[in-house]
Structure 1
Amino acid sequence: MDIFKILDEIQKIDGDAMGRLEHATRRHFMSKIGSKIAAVAVPTAFASIVNKAYAQSAGAIDILNFALTLEYLEDGFYQTANAAAGLIPSTDKAIFTQIGKHETQHVAFLKGALGAKAVAKPTFDFTGKGAFATVFTDYNTFLTVSHALEDTGVRAYKGQAGGLMADPDLLQYALQVHSVEARHASIVRKLLGAATGNAAIKSWITNAAGAPAAVYAGDDNKTQGGVNLTGLAGKSDAAITEAFDEPLTKDQVLAIAGLFL
């Protein structure tokens, strides 16, 4: 969710943001990604661009540190879980090992962009102030929190997508990252449904099945774009909830992250 959020928030505090980044993103960044830079180098390349364009911007530094704090949260969560003996079944271990690697890469990207101005990793309460007390001893609880964090990431992408419409090249790249986050959310939901024996929890959202209300309430929302779709001809309420996902604003994301700080 980082690149969507970073560029959207930078644009809010600096109306000339896309102009500042235009040369680097269009002529340098994307052309090299397409022909010379391996996928693993993308975070480093983008971090360098952000540093050059915003070296003196205190507002941009604050935004990047906000994003870094969220990535610290996810990275720390999976590091702790993957190290917890007996928590993740051997059949699922490879999945969460890979997800953890992705989150570690996100942290490295942001720290590279910020350099010496990066905030230190805070102390997290992964129990959500007691709401998930057995998160690292009970697999089902772990899956519930993982599901909450991954779904939050997907919604954060959706909430910030409009800010990249002015730069289709970056939008395309960000959507590629978003698709990975969506796959994380999908597999975690599938594992949660299997582990709990709840057939209502699928790889996609249906009503509020599996939603941890302590983190986010709204999976069963049927109003999209200000239009209440309840009673849409030929469509059940369940089908409507499956067809859309809710965007999250910055304040909503902060409220969710705050549960674990």
Structure 2
Amino acid sequence: MNIFNIFDTLQKIDGDAIGRLEHASRRTFMNRIGSTLAAAAVPTAFATVVNKAYAATPTALEVLNYALTLEYLENEFYEIGNNTANLIPAQYKAVFSQIGIHERNHVKFLVTALGANAVKKPTFDFTAKGAFPAFTDFPTFVTLSKAFEDTGVRAYKGQAGNLISEPLLLQYALQIHSVEARHASIARKILSKISGDKSIKSWITNDAGFPGDVYKGETSEGQVVQGGLNLPGIAGLENISFATITESFDEPLTMAEVLKIAGPFVVSL
């Protein structure tokens, strides 16, 4: 649920992701900490930023640990999946291997940045007590991947406001939002192909999807009111379908909603 994967500071660890964020993010961060800073020191430098935020904004610590908990979940999910024989077909191995690399580096980074404040990794059960053949059935594995990634995108939006008083932390969170969405997009594409269900697109339509809690909630993905404006009622948008409007925006999930979604997969904290 790669939620707050502060990707920009991982430029030396995860070059593939940084290549997709080539614009100004890398330059901005490196200008802040000095161009001669060794790659190994990047997490340490960012930890300084995080530690300063703790004193001023206790919520920042909560949000980052919330992110770390979800990163633990995703990392272990892909780690097990990528190491399970005969689960992932050859043509998809590179995709999930790369996502797994991202997740592993995200956990390493957040643990380093949080230091002694980092929460411990929970124990997970990705079968949800036998409900899902997570690692014996590829379509189920991809379905869970899609659900975790879609949850991550929505969870990020739900917590962005809690980082508003910490602009640097928020900057990194905003920079990674599109990367999280790319993970979700490729998982959705794969699921559409292997299931033959063309209604599954790279983006979410209305509030359709499984499990339902990932797409509904306090603010449903079927929302068409944005910035207080009812978009279907705006002049010039009359011919744009309700479904298309819902596809154009991601909606937030609250922390409670995300933890409820993750709950069946967490054995103990």
TM tier, shorter chain?
Answer: 0.7 to 0.9
Q: 1:57 to 1:205 in 2, by over 3 A?
A: closer
Unpaired runs of 5+ in structure 2? 7-27
Range moving further from structure 2, 90-99 or 244-253: 244-253
Q: Which residue of 2 aligns with 1:137?
A: 136
Once superposed, what is the RMSD of the aligned Cα atoms?
Answer: 3.2
What amino acid is the match of 2:178?
A: S
What amino acid is the match of 1:207?
A: N
Q: 1:171 to 1:198 in 2, by over 3 A?
A: same
Matched, 1:108 2:113: no
CA offset at residue 40 of structure 1? 7.9
What amino acid is the match of 2:239?
A: G
CA offset at residue 188 of structure 1? 0.9
Q: TM-score, normalised by structure 2?
A: 0.74
Q: Which residue of 2 aligns with 1:46?
A: 46
Q: 1:42 to 1:129 in 2, by over 3 A?
A: farther
Q: 1:36 to 1:184 in 2, by over 3 A?
A: farther
CA offset at residue 214 of structure 1? 5.4
Q: 1:149 to 1:161 in 2, by over 3 A?
A: same
Q: Which residue of 2 aligns with 1:174?
A: 173
Range moving further from structure 2, 148-157 or 120-129: 120-129
Contact (CA 8 Å) 1:155, 1:248: kept in 2 or not? yes
CA offset at residue 112 of structure 1? 1.2
Q: Which residue of 2 aligns with 1:160?
A: 159
Percentage identity across aligned positions? 62
Trace 1:82-97 onto structure 2 (pairs within 5 A).
Answer: 82-97=82-97
Matched, 1:66 2:71: no
Residues 111-137 of structure 1, C-alpha deviations (whole Å, 9 max, x = no match) = 113334433321112123444x21111
Unpaired runs of 5+ in structure 1? 5-27
Q: 1:128 to 1:52 in 2, by over 3 A?
A: same
CA offset at residue 59 of structure 1? 6.8
Matched, 1:239 2:249: no
CA offset at residue 52 of structure 1? 5.4
Contact (CA 8 Å) 2:213, 2:261: kept in 1 or not? no
Residues 193-240 of structure 1, C-alpha deviations (whole Å, 9 max, x = no match) = 111111111112223454432544344343444555456611212212
Contact (CA 8 Å) 1:207, 1:241: kept in 2 or not? yes
Distance in 1, Cα, partners of 2:230 & 2:57: 41
Aligned length: 237
Trace 1:204-243 onto structure 2 (pairs within 5 A).
Answer: 204-213=203-212, 215-217=214-216, 218-225=220-227, 227-229=229-231, 233-243=238-248
Q: Which residue of 1 aligns with 2:16?
A: none
Q: 1:90 to 1:41 in 2, by over 3 A?
A: farther
Q: 1:258 pairs with 236, 245, 263, which one?
A: 263
Q: Which residue of 1 aligns with 2:24?
A: none
Contact (CA 8 Å) 1:29, 1:45: kept in 2 or not? no
Contact (CA 8 Å) 1:187, 1:203: kept in 2 or not? yes
Q: Which residue of 1 aligns with 2:12?
A: none
Q: Which residue of 1 aligns with 2:184?
A: 185
CA offset at residue 155 of structure 1? 1.2
Distance in 2, Cα, partners of 1:48 & 1:64: 14
Range moving further from structure 2, 157-166 or 138-147: 157-166
Distance in 2, Cα, partners of 1:96 & 1:246: 26
